[in-house]
Amino acid sequence: MLVPFSVIGLNHITSPVDLREHIAFHKDNMDEGLRQFNNIKGVDAGIILSTCNRVELYYYGNSDINNIISWLTEFHHVNYSKLQNIKSCFYNYSGKAGLEHLLRVASGMDSMAIGETQVLGQIKDAYHKSKEMGFLGKNLDGIVQFTFAVAKKARSQTAIGKESTTLAATAVNTSIHVLNDVAEKDALIIGAGDNARLVIEHLRSKGFNKLYIANRTYQKAAEIADKYDGEAVSLIDIEKYLPRVNALFTSTSSPTILVGKGMIEEAVKKWGRKPLYICDMSLPHDVEHSVRDLDQVYLYTLEDLELIIKDKSVLKDNEKLKAEKIIEKEIKSFIHNNGDSAYAMKNYRLIIDDIKKQELAKVLKEDMDEDTREALINLANNLSSKISHGPTSMIKDAYNKADTNSIENINKSLLGKIT
């Protein structure tokens, strides 16, 4: 591969929401997940990105994809009998393709809402978490820093992020469609992360009346409420506030349901016939799905928002082309300056050495005299050295010239056994 960098993951396009929900990482298991991931054989340094739309593992090294998928599903106790053809939901990119994918994600080009900026912040958070825990490493650090610089360039030199449709904006706009006039409408927001804050900003800009902000940490809810002229609510008190609001938005990393059907039923009895809009933007879900059966309750989940955004997200072809050209140019430059030819040559020599050992094992016998044994070993060593000289020179020359086509051909024809 061009550089020993790989990506393994799944997203809103390749996988159903129930699978993403199964393997999502949250605050309670991220640290342990990072430790175990970085202890997998062949993972020299690793980062885990987990959002509502994707779970991706970035790593420097040459670990086998099947080992990583097996670990990931075991870590999250995925039930294979319920999730058929699970491996087909994962994608795997290495070398240049891995770099291209990471840059597309960071630039917002692989997002459900094309051009959105939130994912770049999420990658930065994942980067800092890995660095904080000592799992980043010099090489992976350099790749991620390169990613941040290129993503900034792609956004600043194109209109890729202009008028993007974000989850938060879609959630709020959909609430307006359900509730009509929102000037006298109140909303409860559960969560204090980026999505929740964006929702609050959009609610304020659209003219919602009173905003209640609830979070597991009351102090954080109070800080946000103070900033956006809202009212902080303790998470254990949300049931008291539900009858007061017309809209409920949730965006948390809670592993369990926060709002059950019974809670909503009680609220319905108190507020009468007015509609209640609920938007559950979390994975795993915060709101019990069966509340959708209640009269005058309009539940929108992450899956619903995905469909709405898919219909509305349109990126001008010329802007997308500009961003793609920037990424291609920057990757070529990066490979020229950082492509690990030594790594590729070492792997090729390992292949040749493995073949040599296999063939020697066929001819070396226990009763063979020492002179014959030594002569055969020397012959094998000399042949392997001469055979590998030409290809290793080709590898070095391709990397020096940053000839990506030649490197990819080398990867397929010479290094296919291990990459």
Positions annotated as catalytic residues are: 52
Burial category of 370 from C-beta neighbours within 10 Å (exposed 0-12, middle 13-18, buried 19 and up): exposed
Q: What is the DSSP string of 290-329?
A: GGGGSTTEEEEEHHHHHHHHHHH----HHHHHHHHHHHHH
Question: What separation in angstroms does the CA of 274 have from each of 238, 243, 295?
Answer: 19, 10, 10
Helix or strand (DSSP H, E) at 91: strand 91-94
Nearest to 120 by CA among 99, 141, 151, 96: 151
What the block records as the tokens of 300 is 């929108």
Length of the chain: 419
Distance in angstroms (rounded) separating the CA atoms of residues 150 and 331: 9
CA 263 to chain centre: 33
Distance in angstroms (rounded) separating the CA atoms of residues 398 and 161: 35
Residues in a beta bridge with 93: 7
Cβ atoms of residues 414 and 399 within 8 Å: no
The residue type of 149 is A
